[in-house]
């Protein structure tokens, strides 16, 4: 099982570990692309601060992120699983996973990133600020860059192997790689839907906080249970066995991913 996660906008401060070693990161086929994006980001943030803030979409209160980006090559690192914070990662609780579940997380979880393309949770990276929606000088729009101008289309299917791909990315990060063909048929996307009874009638809505927290808990439960579904159908059964209310149907056309709705009534 390969689980695709979005990063978090908020990140932990840089670590005390050795500076970044691009060659040590997982998915080495993305190395040249990572180096290009890193070079352009550091160059941008080492120059005109006003321009850098505009390109990165930073408010006045986040101007400190520019200096942090400018120093990425020298900054201390820590595992990506410690860098990424926020609702999804709080619910996932990597630091408190039992040892066996933690090992499964290191094999299974892949975090997408505007800067790195994708990393595993034990890859050591510095804290940074660069979303997939950024348009950098040189690479251009990063979602398009990772999708069309890098080996992502070769590297990710190889990482997926013959197993399930559980795609929990937000739309901006899903743009960087879209499973196709046989890989798509083994892929499941998840939408979290909140159900409320209003005047005796069920009303459903999509709420961001519910979405992130539920996805984090869901991944944690799968890892802790040792679940290893080989395809979307088995994933549905595994989630139902863990107490989740899941609505799903196979796609009508070949080469398409399954779309799952996880229905929740409270956080």
DSSP the chain: -EEEE---SSBPPP-SSPBP-GGGSS-GGGHHHHHHHHHHHHHHHTS-HHHHHHHHT--GGGTHHHHHHHTTTTSB-EEHHHHB-SHHHHHH-GGGS-HHHHHHHHHHEEEEETTTEEEETTSEE------TT-EETTTEEHHHHHHHSSTHHHHHHHHHTTS-EEE---HHHHTT----HHHHHTEEEEEEEEEEEETTEEEEE--HHHHHHHHHHHHHHHHHHT---SSHHHHHHHHHHTT-EEEEE--SSTT--EEEEEEES--
pLDDT score of 240 more than 90: yes
The answer to which of 3-12, 30-39, 96-105 has the lowest mean pLDDT is: 3-12
Q: Is residue 13 predicted with pLDDT exceeding 90? A: no
pLDDT, residue 267, reads 66
Which of 25-39, 84-98, 195-209 shows the lowest mean pLDDT across its residues? 195-209
pLDDT of residue 266: 77
Whether the predicted pLDDT of 204 surpasses 90: no
Give the model's pLDDT for residue 197. Answer: 86
Q: Is the pLDDT of residue 207 over 80?
A: no
Domain boundaries, the chain: 2-264
Kindly state the average pLDDT of the residues 8-13. 89
Q: What percent of the chain has pLDDT over 90?
A: 88
Could you tell me which residue, 265 or 20, shows the higher pLDDT? 20
**Global pTM?**
0.95
What percentage of the chain reaches a pLDDT higher than 70? 100
| Tens digits of residue pLDDT in 107-154 | 999 999 999 999 999 999 999 999 999 999 999 999 999 999 999 999
Task: Please check the confidence at residue 85 and state whether its pLDDT lies above 90.
Answer: yes
pLDDT of residue 174: 97
Angle, helices 208-225/99-108, rounded to nearest 10 degrees: 120
For residue range 155-179, list pLDDT tens digits in order.
Answer: 999 999 999 999 999 999 999 999 9
């Amino acid at each position: 099982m390969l689980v695709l996660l979005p990063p978090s906008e908020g990140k932990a401060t840089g670590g005390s570990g050795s500076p970044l070693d691009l060659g040590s990161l997982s998915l080495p086929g993305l190395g040249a692309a990572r180096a290009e994006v890193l070079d352009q980001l550091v160059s941008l943030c080492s120059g005109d601060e006003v321009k850098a803030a505009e390109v990165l979409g930073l408010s006045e209160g986040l101007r400190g992120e520019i200096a942090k980006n400018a120093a990425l090559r020298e900054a201390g690192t820590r595992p990506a699983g410690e860098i990424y914070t926020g609702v999804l990662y709080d619910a996932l609780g990597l630091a408190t996973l039992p040892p066996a579940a933690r090992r499964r997380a290191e094999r299974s979880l892949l975090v997408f990133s505007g800067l790195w393309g994708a990393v595993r949770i034990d890859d050591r990276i510095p804290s940074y600020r660069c979303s997939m929606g950024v348009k950098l000088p040189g690479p251009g729009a990063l979602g398009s860059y990772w999708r069309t101008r890098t080996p992502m289309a070769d590297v990710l299917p190889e990482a997926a192997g013959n197993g399930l791909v559980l795609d929990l990315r937000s739309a901006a990060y899903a743009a960087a790689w879209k499973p196709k063909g046989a890989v798509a048929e083994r892929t499941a996307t998840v939408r979290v839907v909140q159900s409320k009874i209003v005047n005796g009638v069920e009303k459903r809505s999509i709420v961001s906080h519910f979405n992130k927290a539920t996805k984090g808990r869901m991944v944690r439960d799968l890892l802790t249970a040792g679940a290893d579904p080989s395809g979307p159908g088995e994933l549905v059964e595994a989630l139902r066995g863990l107490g989740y209310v899941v609505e799903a149907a196979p796609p009508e056309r070949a080469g398409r991913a399954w779309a799952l709705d996880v229905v929740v009534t409270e956080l």
